[in-house]
């Protein structure tokens, strides 16, 4: 139960950038596609504030990004139509392994019954 929030890259400069410091890990999903350069620009803003960047990209993106990241996860190049499904997999695994590491029961999340119970 860690607070995490997703933002579109274009929204970063509308407030969330103020939260970035050396204690803030930032996971960037950046396949090498039409908005890649704008996403790299946002990564530069995060790096300038000391944010720790974990980059999830493809081979072209890894080669094109010259930023120093905490870690880069390189995924295979896939068609743009299925990229959101493929690029979300490392995030699901991160959430799962973080929950297991923290000792939470991933099969019995608290308060789930309140949201799925129908009478």
Q: Write the pLDDT tens digit of every residue in 15-65.
A: 888 888 898 889 999 999 888 999 999 999 999 999 999 999 999 999 998
| DSSP one-letter code for 75 | E
Please say whether the beta carbons of 29 and 56 come within 8 A: yes
Q: What domains can you pick out in the chain, each with its CATH number?
A: 9-116 (3.40.50.10490)
Task: Average the pLDDT over 101-112 and give the result.
Answer: 84
Examine the pLDDT at 114 and tell me if it is beyond 70: no
Residue carrying structure tokens 């949201």:
115
β-bridge partners, 25: 52
pTM confidence score: 0.83
Top-confidence residue, 111 or 29: 29
Half-sphere exposure of 9 (CA within 13 A, CB side): 19
pLDDT tens across 57-98, in order? Answer: 999 999 998 888 899 999 999 998 999 999 999 999 999 999
Examine the pLDDT at 115 and tell me if it is beyond 80: no
Examine the pLDDT at 118 and tell me if it is beyond 80: no
């Amino acid at each position: 139960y860690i607070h995490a929030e997703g933002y579109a890259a274009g929204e970063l400069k509308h407030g969330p950038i103020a939260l970035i410091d050396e204690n803030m890990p930032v996971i960037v999903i950046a396949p090498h596609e039409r908005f890649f350069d704008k996403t790299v620009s946002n990564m530069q803003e995060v790096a300038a504030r000391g944010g720790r960047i974990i980059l999830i990209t493809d081979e072209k993106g890894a080669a094109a990004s010259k930023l120093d990241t905490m870690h880069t996860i390189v995924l295979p190049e896939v068609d743009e139509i299925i990229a959101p499904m493929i690029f979300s997999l490392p995030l699901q695994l991160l959430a799962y392994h973080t929950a297991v590491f923290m000792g939470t029961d991933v099969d019995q999340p608290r308060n789930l019954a309140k949201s799925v119970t129908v009478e």
